[in-house]
């Protein structure tokens, strides 16, 4: 059985946010809506302070809390582990949004789809926004439309330092599994007990 | 050395992220649901159909309207009925449906003067209480079942919901019986119950704060916000000072003197405190830092 996952090398990430932009370009998400982005954290004190970059996205948890709290069944999990949100069933209660320990859901307020990044909608925004249902919650799908074509997610392809590796967590010979084994891959907020499919190495 | 992490909203930095999606409208829905179900249950217990009717209307119309106004796709609300096996929101709607159906039957029979046999009446009452109980506590379970926000992850939250609901119910039943004197419940036990419930809520709130102050980092940060931060005025002044302490003083005064005039003020202070407690609970929803 395939379980899609990602490993992110924090040593390689330079915080360029190319993944953030690639994701937005691929999915055409409106303002305030980020399926993936890069968080910054300052560690240490002057003169030895440094900035760390932590790329985040939906963790496609094996035990997703967003799925349990969804009152309509709009949130579901595919056999390959990808957690999806069905906008035909979503009522916009935002229980999933609140339940996600990683805060990786976005709510599409109606007004977000009426105005583009620069005022009036561009032809691209017009086309992409038409794919969204206002008043529903949206999230990263690991670019499932790209996976269906045998392609990696947009954030992985675009990463200029190859900080993101995508692959099958259930295949012990896959590059992602080897990296996690060799470098002690860890998950965010393990205490949430959600078993994320996104791992990090340092 | 670890730098203290800030409270953040949408900023792209690591910190205690504040949940901003559930706010005053959800707090309003919680408030109407608990107060309405509490009044409904207390009125059933006291054999006070007018109170049960008002409670039912507050819960069904007030709570229902607030929820529908909040939903992104309100026209699909019926879909909530399909996941009671995992979702407390779904269970809550089932509770509201049960309360509406069985409460409605109870009220129609009461209005028509029909008296059921002991067993059918017992079953009807049990179903009414069951529906009301679900509506009273499910908000608490919605919050406590969320693994993301440590300040909500406490068994005390549903207990708080239950006790605030009962307190609201007793207060409104007393107010209603004072304003509409045609069919009052027994005022004296209600007065003692009021005092007992206010003290119980005071203890529960204190216990909640103490438990959270010794819990996960985000919960500790939430408590700091509540007692020393931006919400201190609302929490200490509004929810505790006005909602519980002033209400307690008024309830004791009413019990001692039998005076009816302060009952309206008591209802206002109690309702204000009730709303504020759960509004603040939503406002302190902080996620643990992801890294």
Query: Could you give the CA distance from residue B39 to residue B62 in angstroms, rounded to a whole number?
Result: 13
Mind telling me how many Å the CA of A104 is from chain B's nearest CA? 11
Residue range B20-40: average pLDDT? 97
Dihedral sign of CA atoms B172, B177, B180, B184 in order:
positive
Q: Does B19 touch chain A (CB under 8 A)?
A: yes
Q: Does B149 touch chain A (CB under 8 A)?
A: yes
- Residue ranges in chain A modelled with pLDDT below 70: none
Give the three-state DSSP class for A53: strand
Query: Could you give the CA distance from residue B168 to residue B273 in angstroms, rounded to a whole number?
Result: 10
Mind telling me how many Å the CA of B234 is from chain A's nearest CA? 23
Q: What percent of chain B has pLDDT over 90?
A: 87
pTM of the complete model: 0.93
Region of residue B32 (phi > 0: left; psi between -120 and 50: alpha; otherwise: beta):
alpha
Q: Match 């993301």 to its residue by tokens.
A: B148
Query: Could you give the CA distance from residue B55 to residue B110 in angstroms, rounded to a whole number?
Result: 15
Q: How confident is the model at residue B184 (pLDDT cuts 50, 70, 90)?
A: low
Residue range B79-96: average pLDDT? 96
Q: What is the pLDDT of residue B179?
A: 87
User: Per the CB < 8 Å rule, is A98 touching B149?
Assistant: yes
Of A69, A107, A136, the CB nearest to B87: A69
Residues of A in contact with B149 (CB under 8 A): 98
Residue B2 maps to a domain: no
With 70 as the cut, is the pLDDT of residue B185 above it?
no
User: Per the CB < 8 Å rule, is A135 touching B71?
Assistant: yes
Query: Could you give the CA distance from residue B61 to residue B71 in angstroms, rounded to a whole number?
Result: 15
Q: What is the pLDDT of residue B243?
A: 97
Residue B197 maps to a domain: yes
Q: What is the pLDDT of residue B146?
A: 84
Structure-block tokens of residue B14:
């690591």
Residue range B97-122: average pLDDT? 94
Q: Does B24 touch chain A (CB under 8 A)?
A: no
- CATH number for the domain harbouring residue B201: 1.20.1630.10
Query: Could you give the CA distance from residue A75 to residue A54 in angstroms, rounded to a whole number?
Result: 26
pLDDT in tens, A1-36: 899 999 999 999 999 999 999 999 999 999 999 999
Q: How confident is the model at residue B183 (pLDDT cuts 50, 70, 90)?
A: low
Residues of A in contact with B89 (CB under 8 A): 69, 71, 93, 95
Compute the half-sphere exposure of residue B80: CA atoms within 13 Å on the CB side of its CA. Answer: 25
Q: Does B112 touch chain A (CB under 8 A)?
A: no
Q: What is the pLDDT of residue B199?
A: 98
With 90 as the cut, is the pLDDT of residue B279 above it?
yes
Comparing C-alpha atoms, which of B16, B217, B14 is closest to residue A200?
B14
Of B21, B82, B216, the CB nearest to A97: B21
With 80 as the cut, is the pLDDT of residue B181 above it?
no
Q: What is the chain B residue with the closest CA to A40?
A: B13
Strand partners, A167: A5
* Structural domain total, chain B: 1
Residues of A in contact with B146 (CB under 8 A): 65, 69, 98-99
Domain carrying residue B218? 20-287
Residue B234 maps to a domain: yes
Residue B8 maps to a domain: no
Question: How many residue pairs bridge chain A and chain B with CB atoms within 8 Å of each other?
Answer: 134
B148 membership: H or E segment, kind and range: none
Distances (CA, A) of A39 to A139, A199, A200, B211, B268: 17, 16, 14, 31, 45
Q: Does B178 touch chain A (CB under 8 A)?
A: no
Could you count the other beta carbons within 10 Å of the beta carbon of residue A191?
10
Mind telling me how many Å the CA of B148 is from chain A's nearest CA? 4
With 70 as the cut, is the pLDDT of residue B182 above it?
no
Average model confidence (pLDDT) for chain B?
Answer: 93
Structure-block tokens of residue B195:
């005092």
Q: What is the pLDDT of residue B1?
A: 43
Give contacts of A 72-111 with B, CB under 8 A. Answer: 72-74, 89-95, 97-103, 107-109
Of A32, A41, A91, the CB nearest to B79: A91
Distances (CA, A) of B267 to A50, B39, B64, B166: 55, 12, 22, 13
User: Per the CB < 8 Å rule, is A37 touching B12?
Assistant: yes
Residue range B192-214: average pLDDT? 96
Give contacts of A 123-152 with B, CB under 8 A. Answer: 133-137
Residue B15 maps to a domain: no
Give the three-state DSSP class for B285: coil
Reported ipTM: 0.91
Residue range B244-262: average pLDDT? 93
pLDDT in tens, B148-162: 999 999 999 999 999
Residue B7 maps to a domain: no
Residue B1 maps to a domain: no
pLDDT in tens, B32-43: 999 999 999 999
Q: Which residues of B140-165 are buried (b: 16+ CB within 10 A; e: fewer)?
A: bbbbbbbbbbbbbbbebbbbbbbbbb
Residue B43 maps to a domain: yes
User: Per the CB < 8 Å rule, is B89 touching A69?
Assistant: yes
Q: How confident is the model at residue B242 (pLDDT cuts 50, 70, 90)?
A: very high
């Amino acid at each position: 059985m395939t379980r899609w996952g990602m490993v992110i090398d924090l040593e390689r990430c330079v915080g360029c946010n190319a993944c953030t932009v690639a994701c937005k370009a691929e999915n055409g998400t409106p303002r305030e809506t980020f399926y993936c982005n890069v968080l910054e954290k300052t560690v240490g004190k002057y003169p030895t302070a440094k900035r760390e970059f932590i790329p985040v996205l939906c963790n496609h948890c094996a035990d997703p809390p967003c799925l349990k709290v969804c009152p309509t069944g709009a949130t579901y999990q595919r056999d390959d582990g990808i957690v999806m949100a069905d906008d035909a069933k979503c009522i916009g209660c935002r229980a999933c949004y609140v339940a996600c320990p990683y805060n990786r859901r976005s709510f599409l307020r109606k007004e977000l789809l009426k105005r583009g990044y620069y005022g009036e909608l561009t032809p691209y925004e017009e086309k992409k926004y038409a794919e969204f249902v206002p008043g529903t919650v949206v999230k990263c799908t690991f670019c499932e439309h790209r996976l269906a074509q045998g392609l990696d997610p947009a954030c992985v392809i675009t990463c200029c330092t190859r900080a993101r590796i995508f692959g099958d967590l259930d295949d012990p010979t896959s590059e992602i599994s080897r990296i996690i084994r060799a470098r002690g891959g860890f998950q965010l907020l393990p205490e949430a007990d959600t078993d994320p499919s996104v791992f990090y190495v340092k | 050395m670890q730098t203290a992490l800030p409270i953040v909203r949408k900023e792209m930095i690591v910190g205690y992220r504040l949940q901003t999606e559930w706010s005053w409208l959800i707090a309003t829905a919680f408030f109407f649901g608990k107060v309405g179900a509490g009044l409904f249950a207390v009125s059933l217990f006291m054999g006070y159909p007018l109170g049960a009717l008002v409670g039912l209307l507050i819960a069904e119309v007030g709570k229902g309207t607030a929820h529908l106004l909040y939903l992104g796709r309100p026209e699909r609300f019926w879909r909530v009925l399909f996941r009671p096996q995992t979702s407390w929101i779904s269970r809550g709607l089932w509770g509201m449906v049960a309360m509406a159906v069985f409460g409605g039957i109870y009220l129609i029979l009461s209005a028509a003067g029909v008296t059921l046999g002991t067993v059918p009446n017992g079953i009807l009452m049990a179903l009414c209480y069951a529906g009301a109980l679900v509506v009273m506590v499910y908000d608490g379970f919605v919050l406590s079942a969320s693994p993301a926000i440590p300040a909500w992850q406490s068994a005390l939250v549903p207990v708080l919901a239950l006790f605030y609901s009962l307190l609201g119910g007793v207060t409104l039943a007393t107010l209603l019986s004072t304003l509409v004197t045609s069919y009052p419940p027994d005022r004296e036990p209600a007065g003692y119950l009021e005092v007992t419930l206010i003290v119980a809520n005071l203890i529960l709130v204190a216990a909640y704060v103490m438990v959270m102050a010794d819990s996960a980092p985000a919960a500790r940060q939430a408590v700091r916000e509540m007692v020393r931060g931006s919400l201190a005025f609302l929490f200490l002044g509004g929810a505790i000072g006005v909602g519980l302490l002033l209400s307690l003083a008024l309830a004791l005064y009413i019990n001692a003197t039998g005076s009816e005039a302060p009952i309206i003020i008591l209802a206002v202070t109690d309702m204000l405190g009730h709303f504020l407690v759960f509004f603040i609970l939503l406002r302190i929803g902080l996620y643990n830092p992801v890294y």
